[in-house]
Amino acid sequence: MNRYQDAAPGARGATAVVDPAAEREEAGRLWLYGPGRQTPERVPVPTRVPSGDAGPLEAVLFDRDGTLVTDVPYNGDPSLVEPMPGALEAVAALRARGLMVGVVSNQSGVARGLLTGAQVGSVRQEVDARFGPFDVWAVCPHGPGDRCGCRKPAPGLVLAACAHLGVCPARTAVVGDIGADVGAARAAGARGVLVPTPMTRAEEVVAAREYARDLPGAVRLLLGGPGPGEGAA
């Protein structure tokens, strides 16, 4: 899948399911899930970056597709959820250190009519079943033309997740596989770590301030120091 453009209508996991207008979410709101919540809370997109001093890391937010789980275009099928190599171990290592973990995910398939909110929720539940419940999920259901403040690289998802967790963005890290993920971290005042995949653009790798070869490497970088081929640019 090309993460930067529309997927082909017949791509695996992408099936037209609903009139986009039926579940159109206003651009000023995003979807937030806490542990055990079956339906999302529709919350205003934060517009202010809270001040706060950098300090010990308190929370790590992950992109979903291509980072935590394999990237299936517009996936609404829980049976297609497959953790990325090392992802289960990486999340477990953070929890073992007492850190909160969450997910921040663009899901434009809702705006495009390729996903329902229920399908987004069912995939979220499967991810939680595989990894253990995440402390927060923040989801952008808008499309590129909606001019929302939550679609990464805008900071809204990161800010909303941090507010829900009660942590300062300056004590939060975001881990993702494309430039929009680390761009959202930077815009929110959080730390961003890029974990490239074959779909990551070369210029995004060059521009990354911090990078790792895989998710366990990203966790090593966040918790204590890089391994070979990892670190800060």
Terminal C-alpha separation, the chain: 28
Residue bearing the bigger pLDDT, 88 or 207: 88
The CA distance from 194 to 208, in Å, is 6
> Could you give the C-alpha distances from 119 to 33, 133, 221, in angstroms and in order?
14, 17, 34
φ, ψ at 44 (rounded to 5°): -60, 145
233 burial type by CB count under 10 A (0-12 exposed, 13-18 middle, 19+ buried): exposed
Q: Where are the beta strands (DSSP E) in 120-230?
A: 136-140, 172-176, 191-194, 210-211
Catalytic residues: 63, 65
Half-sphere exposure of 62 (CA within 13 A, CB side): 30
- Model confidence at 3, pLDDT cuts 50, 70, 90, reads low
Q: Where are the beta strands (DSSP E) in 63-109?
A: 100-106
pLDDT in tens, 106-153: 999 999 999 999 999 999 999 999 999 999 999 999 999 999 999 999
The CA distance from 162 to 101, in Å, is 10
| Model confidence, pTM | 0.90
The pLDDT of residue 166 is above 80: yes
Is 194 within 8 Å of 180 (Cβ atoms)? no
pLDDT in tens, 10-48: 344 555 555 655 567 888 999 999 998 889 999 999 988
Is 220 within 8 Å of 230 (Cβ atoms)? yes
Is 73 within 8 Å of 1 (Cβ atoms)? yes
The pLDDT of residue 230 is above 80: no
